[in-house]
Structure 1
């Protein structure tokens, strides 16, 4: 199943700008507002886009973009088409506009595609570009689902879970997690425990233990090094947490599974 990117870049407008496709946009359009504001018209509906707004358009949709005088607007945009995109688009609802986190990993993925498309056609790795585009689509879909269709957890809890998952193998504070979700420490702690059934640190320990077991099984790292790099700090604390969870010391577990 093929994909094709026919435009991909970043734009920043400081003067009046107007673009329109009255007869319908020729492909799929992804547009993520990263700075300032602008106005769009999609299928006759006028909307103002602010920082964090993701616009998703399918082929044939009427589309207009307007940046007014004295406005500033910055955005990443990508136009694409192909069999895989058709299949991906059709398998779940895609709201025209949704608000997502401006996640640096997602933006880095978008920038990677931009750089690949700037290469001379003879130098472009089309297979790499194809997989980068698929990764971007799936990442955008997850971001939209977590903000628009997140029924399992409140969005603030989802944000806290993602923060903990990213930082679990390092030392972090509850205050940092709460700040990431825009909540007070007490509110964040209560909401997380109520929704997830674990405290933030219990959730982090679950991730740390999972990473530690993976490293015990598939690397030659010492147990002391594993304890340090998985966020436990000291081996003695790692030993205590591991034995309480699995009923056996880390060394005994490793010997059992190596043999």
Structure 2
């Protein structure tokens, strides 16, 4: 079976050094056929496929539009691997596992302890949608790791949650498509974190933890060699 494509939503107006090093990690550790950048494409990126999308909404609306564009594009593999531009794979994979974060109810408690913003509202509205659709205790798939996505299942999830302005689309897809999976803790290295854990084989960064944190230094050292997806400097 041919390796799947990697799909990455990319916001406009950034140089995106995190993406540069994410691509290096994928070339090293994540077997794939092609990389598709959906949205913007940094000037240094080469050898990638690109689908431009209009980015006129919130970041949640923009990434949902990117996901829909990927699912509707006939040349993108089905399934494909969905990644963000700050997902780093630290160990060689032979296939991408299905992973989840545990019950949404537990994830909700974590975010409620940090505030009550738009993301938390979207979590609750997505949970309520899934409960209404017959899933009383849904799992959360909002992990910062690569996720295998089947096109028809994702399109069905996007349609079910089209009325939500902050749809947790990974969760909606994972639950409605019944993909199951193995539980793991999230790997996002947030601002102020005392350190980071490499044991899972994945890390994800924020702009400041990548630029100035120990995790960023580790990634720049580990993936110091340019990949086939970049031109210019190493």
State the TM-score, normalizing by the size of structure 1.
0.21
Identify the structure with the greater helix proportion: 1
Identify the structure with the greater strand proportion: 1
State the TM-score, normalizing by the size of structure 2.
0.22
Greater relative contact order: 1 or 2 (C-alpha under 8 angstroms, separation 6 or more)? 2
**Structure number with bigger Rg:** 1
